[in-house]
Structure 1
Amino acid sequence: MQANSPAKELNPRLQAVPRSKMALAIAALVRYRWLYILMAPGVLYYLVYHYMPMFGLVVAFKEYNLMKGVWSSPWVGLDNFKEIFSTPEFGVLMKNTLLLSLYRILFNMLPDVVLALMLNEIRVRWFKRVVQTITYGPHFLSWIIVYGLVFSFFAPGSGLVTTFVRDMGWGSIDVLTNSDVFRPMLLVTDIWKNTGFGAIIYMAALATINHELYEAAVVDGAGRWRQMWHITLPGIREVFILLLIFRIGHILDAGFEQVYIFLNARVYDVGDILDTWIFRRGIEQLDFSVPAAMGVFKSVIGLILVIGANRLAKKLGGSGIW
């Protein structure tokens, strides 16, 4: 019988020696050092741009003065929040914000799914890539450029479409300054700009579905519609719920950049939202305390909505965010 080597005889003793948690952490850090290095830029981004600015939340509870600074400005408690709720236009701002956000959730999420399902059914690869490129391209355009395109078509009296309608004797159309069509215009331009990006997310989810499920469905005699209803849609359900929870969490944002660029004095009654009011009050009037309080109010509501939507998703059978 071969005798055990000294190293093998020492192994049980070495295994019996408990290692401290610090030593285990250092060993894991050294072992996965390249993964941590790759993760470092993303962590630094969130620390610098998302967590460090949280120290400025104290401005919401102070009467902030530029000359005195954040820490030397006097405390006012909840006075800034009281001023928010007593503002005459607060009701209109909340109504416009909630309506725009709900419209985006109801009407702007469905085109993403429909486009992804249509692309998934295309079997000609070059045609599929062309359609993806065309639909994804507008996502890279800024809202300034999008507004410039809309203005060139629908500018009152000089736009391409408005001029054509007038020259044909069909009367005149008013899009940019008409309160009745301002919200639909925001929804249509948002669909045109972001549908391609949303479809790519769903396409990635469709790529993870096991193709053997489709083969089994064909053997059972299921057609395209049956396969889509029983295999494709359940396969992207989790992604849809995840994106829905994210949108619910940002329900008080309503797309500031787009709204601010398209907004004009004649559509304030239907287009003025919380973020545009914050911008005017904070940047234009240099009153930072009340807008900071509004930001805290939005964050608290968003957190409550995300937690509630996540719990509801789990009760309905989904996985949620956590």
Structure 2
Amino acid sequence: MKVEIVQDATSTVMKPVSKTKQKLRSIWKYRWQYAMIMPGFVLVFLFNYMPMAGIQVAFKDYNIFEGIWTSEWIGFENFYFLKDSEFWRVFSNTIWITVLKFVFGFPAPIILALLLNDIKNKTFKKWVQTLTYMPHFVSWIVVAYIVEALLSQSSGLVNGLLAQFGIKPIYFMGSEEWFRPIIIFSSVWKEVGFSAIIYLAAIAGLNPQLYEAAVVDGANKWKQALHVTIPGIMPTISIMLILTIPSLLNAGFDQIYPLQNPINQPVSEVIDTYVVKTGLNQGYYGPATAIGLVTSVVQLILVVGANQLSKRYGNTRLF
């Protein structure tokens, strides 16, 4: 408990300070910091918390003319999709794509950061960094056009190269076998450079004396990376892992939808596209909201579980 010193003409008295007064003093002390974060707080509240009132649509027979508040309550009837084989096929597609993205996409920026860290030519290093993180700023619509142009069966560059070796043209965009590799490769290509910046920043914060000691002990570049760099950036890796785990149910609507067509739909239909088609195209707002609610709950469980595991075994946590 904090106290404050009150002086008068005859004596000095120490009085306890209430918690409310302490908080008000703290707010006043950091008033400019609070003022700077207030716009972000307002935006998060308006666009993340206020829309949560719409969760009740999952438990109502929603009618757009009656509105959210006056539509009839129907309990868990909108959760019938849990018994629908079509939904579980879509769920399976989502897990396949997200797990493959995680397996190939999560270590890729770490490897790139380790490689860039060992480049001594600063000019070459800057060019590589620029070329690898620039795709992050290209929208998925543009990426979809690039992919379709490269993989076109009639005029695509890839099929043109295959024809030089006497290989028949492949209809990549209409193939169930090729859809997942295309999604994984384009995802890694687009995000690997930008994600590597985080790990490069973590590597830059390591003590150079650790590398000097490793060199004295006879460690080569591989052993330096294995025993100095990776352990040094492990807290950053743990935090990024916690942030990535919830995306195991988010395959990426903006990436998949532009590349989807009726031929590859058996493997390209994921929860994101399924919800949009169910809610907006077919008008089943209640079931679509129910699917989104279940997905959000599972994602919350995943991120809390990953945070607890990281706290227990890695001594690092997000919250």
**Unaligned segments of structure 2, at least 5 residues:** none
Match status 1:179 vs 2:165:
no
1:95 to 51, 69, 92: 92
1:217 to 214, 219, 228: 214
- 1:188 is matched with which residue? 185
C-alpha distance in structure 1 between counterparts of 2:125 and 2:9, whole Å: 59
- 1:78 is matched with which residue? 76
Which amino acid is the alignment partner of residue 19 of structure 2? K
Identity of counterpart residues, as a percentage?
38
Within-5 A mapping of 1:1-322: 10=8, 16-81=14-79, 83-166=80-163, 169-322=166-319
Tell me the TM-score normalized by structure 2: 0.93
Shift in CA distance, 192/10, structure 1 to aligned 2, threshold 3 Å: same
CA deviation digits over 1:116-175, x for unaligned, max 9? 001111122221111110101000000111111111111232323324544764211121
C-alpha distance in structure 2 between counterparts of 1:195 and 1:310, whole Å: 24
Q: Does the CA-based 8 Å contact 1:259-1:271 persist in structure 2?
A: yes
Which amino acid is the alignment partner of residue 69 of structure 2? W
1:14 Cα deviation after fit: 6.2
Shift in CA distance, 17/116, structure 1 to aligned 2, threshold 3 Å: same
Which amino acid is the alignment partner of residue 280 of structure 2? I
Alignment length, in residue pairs?
315
C-alpha distance in structure 1 between counterparts of 2:89 and 2:6, whole Å: 77
CA deviation digits over 1:205-235, x for unaligned, max 9? 1112111211222233322222111110011
Tell me the TM-score normalized by structure 1: 0.92
CA deviation digits over 1:16-58, x for unaligned, max 9? 1223333222221221111111111221121111111111100
CA deviation digits over 1:44-89, x for unaligned, max 9? 12111111111110011001000000011000101111x2112230
Return structure 1 stretches of 4+ with deviation > 3 angstroms.
7-15, 163-169
Shift in CA distance, 178/16, structure 1 to aligned 2, threshold 3 Å: same
RMSD over aligned CA atoms reads 2.0
Shift in CA distance, 12/293, structure 1 to aligned 2, threshold 3 Å: farther
CA deviation digits over 1:186-205, x for unaligned, max 9? 00001110000111111111
Shift in CA distance, 19/268, structure 1 to aligned 2, threshold 3 Å: same
C-alpha distance in structure 2 between counterparts of 1:228 and 1:247, whole Å: 23
C-alpha distance in structure 2 between counterparts of 1:256 and 1:320, whole Å: 29
**Unaligned segments of structure 1, at least 5 residues:** 1-6
